[in-house]
Amino acid sequence: MKRDRRAVTEAAPAAALSPGLVVASHGRHYRVEADDGSRRNCHPRGKKSDCVVGDRVRWRHTTEGDDEGVIEAVEARRNLLFRQDEWRTKAFAANLDQIVVMVASEPVFSESQLARALVAAQSAGIEAWVLLNKTDLPGADEARRRLAPYRAMGTAVREAALKAAPEAAQAALLPLFAGRASLVLGPSGTGKSTLINRFVPGAAAAVGEISQALNSGRHTTTHTQWHWIDRAAGSALIDSPGFQEFGLRQVEPAALPALMPDLAAHVGACRFYNCTHRQEPGCGVRAAVERGEISESRYRIYGEILEELGRTAW
Ligand SMILES: Nc1nc2c(ncn2[C@@H]2O[C@H](COP(=O)(O)OP(=O)(O)OP(=O)(O)O)[C@@H](O)[C@H]2O)c(=O)[nH]1
Ligand SMILES: [Zn+2]
């Protein structure tokens, strides 16, 4: 990740450069917010489009009086998250304080997607917790049962009924969002928009405005976007669709168990130091699965991710 470390380059006199925050992106077009809260379209200098939402940048006006800008430099990132498709891996958000992985009683969530999101967070060094929404629906107990292994391994699982009991949800969640940049992820229909609209009045309008400014037309829901809950306090929600495409290709296969706390707790018991926890005799992880200390589904998901990482020429 060489580009993370890129220092501020002084391509222009320092006085002409202003600090800014990338709040949305579309291709090589970026929406950059200046310290006074004003927002404008900016293009990066040079051929590479290196910015992602959450990046702190140095920009300047294209020409005097013009309300477009040029990004001259990207400041060093605290962390960086990737998404992937069949062809490539792409960074999509940086400088996050936490990841909120949303699931709901309905629709039934994919445990594999949940596990992958948590591995990606751990790999990026970002704290993550689960928000179970729609606890007013009958599927809540089954969802809690499926989340039990996650609680047991130390992942915080919080609950809300954002539509059925919005005040209670707001009171419980607001302190958790205070002063932090929180990426909200989750499968479609879980309640992400309900959450964001609750905490960021005007968020829907902002999405429309930004997509118009960046010329992205109607495809608003495919873009990562930064929303302030409280700008002065630094509280923000980052909305990013595309849960299922979480990029894990940067993870070394041998590093995977360390990113899954329930497995990591047992690797010390393996006979071989380089045990893959698949076929080897004397495997502490498989023994823990047999004793019921690691859930069958978590172990199966480990195998699936491992196989996928092994297939990827990286
Ligand atoms: N019963 C119940 N329904 C809820 C709750 N929260 C949200 N919903 C409903 O769930 C549906 C989906 O909510 P959205 O907020 O649009 O979900 P989303 O995650 O943004 O979905 P996409 O826009 O498809 O990504 C809506 O009909 C909401 O009204 C809740 O606490 N309980
Ligand atoms: Zn093992």
* Cβ atoms 131, 103 nearer than 8 A: yes
- Asked if 52 contacts 60 with a C-beta cutoff of 8 angstroms, the reply is no
Mean pLDDT of 85-109: 90
- The whole-angstrom separation of Cα 130 and Cα 108 is 15
Q: Where in the chain is the domain with CATH 2.40.50.140?
A: 2-74
Are 109 and 187 spatial neighbours (Cβ–Cβ below 8 Å)?
A: yes
Query: Which of 167, 194, 220 should be mutated for ligand 1, with most atoms under 8 A from CB?
Result: 194
According to DSSP, the β-strands at 235-239 and 225-230 are antiparallel
Q: Which residues contact 290 (CB under 8 A, 6 or more apart)?
A: none
Q: Are 282 and 272 in contact (CB under 8 A)?
A: yes
Q: In sequence order, what DSSP letters do the residues of 91-104 get, joined into one string?
A: EEEES-SEEEEEEE
Helix (H) or strand (E) run with residue 56 in it? strand 56-61
- Reply yes or no on whether the pLDDT at 265 is more than 90: yes
Q: Is 244 in the pocket of ligand 1 (CB under 6 A)?
A: no
Tell me how crowded residue 227 is: count the other CB atoms within 10 A of its CB: 20
Does residue 123 register a pLDDT over 60? yes
Burial class (CB within 10 angstroms; exposed 0-12, middle 13-18, buried 19+) of 24: buried
The tens digit of pLDDT for each residue in 171-204 reads 999 999 999 999 999 988 999 999 999 999 888 7
Query: Using one digit for the tens of pLDDT, what is the confidence trace for 211-225?
Result: 777 765 555 445 789
Q: SS3 of 268, please?
A: helix
| CATH 3.40.50.300 placement within the chain | 80-245
Alpha carbons 67 and 156: distance in angstroms, whole number: 44
pLDDT of residue 215: 64
DSSP for 123-170?
Answer: HHT-EEEEEEE-TTSTTHHHHHHHHHHHHHTT--EEE--TTTSHHHHH
The 10s digit of each residue's pLDDT in 170-179 is: 999 999 999 9
Class of domain 2-74: mainly beta
Q: 133 CB less than 6 Å from ligand 1?
A: yes
Q: Is 207 helix (H, G, I), strand (E, B) or coil?
A: helix
CA distances from 277 to 51, 130, 309, 314 (A): 38, 27, 15, 22
Give the atom of ligand 1 at the shortest distance from the alpha carbon of 169.
31
Question: Which residue among 102, 136, 158, 163 has the greatest number of ligand 1 atoms within 8 angstroms of its CB, and so is best to mutate?
Answer: 163
Radius of gyration of the chain (CA): 21
Question: Any idea which of 15-24, 80-89, 279-288, 302-311 has the lowest mean pLDDT?
Answer: 80-89
Mean pLDDT computed over 22-46? 90
Q: What pLDDT is attached to residue 203?
A: 81
The mean of the pLDDT values for the chain is 88
How far is ligand 1, taken at its centre, from the CA of residue 194, in Å? Answer: 6
Q: What percent of the chain has pLDDT over 70?
A: 88
Assess contact for 186 and 103: CB atoms under 8 A. yes
Say what the alpha-carbon torsion angle 125, 71, 35, 17 is, to the nearest 10 degrees: 120
CATH code for the part of the protein at 253-311: 1.10.40.50
pLDDT value at position 88? Answer: 76
> What pLDDT score does 2 carry?
42
In the chain, list all ranges with CATH 1.10.40.50.
Answer: 253-311
Superfamily of domain covering 80-245 = P-loop containing nucleotide triphosphate hydrolases (3.40.50.300)
Burial code of 122-159, b = ≥16 C-beta within 10 A, e = fewer?
bbbebebbbbbbbbeeeebeebeebbebbeebebebeb
Residue 12: pLDDT over 60: no
Ligand 1 contact, 290 CB (< 6 A): no
Protein residue with its CA nearest to atom 22 in ligand 1: 188
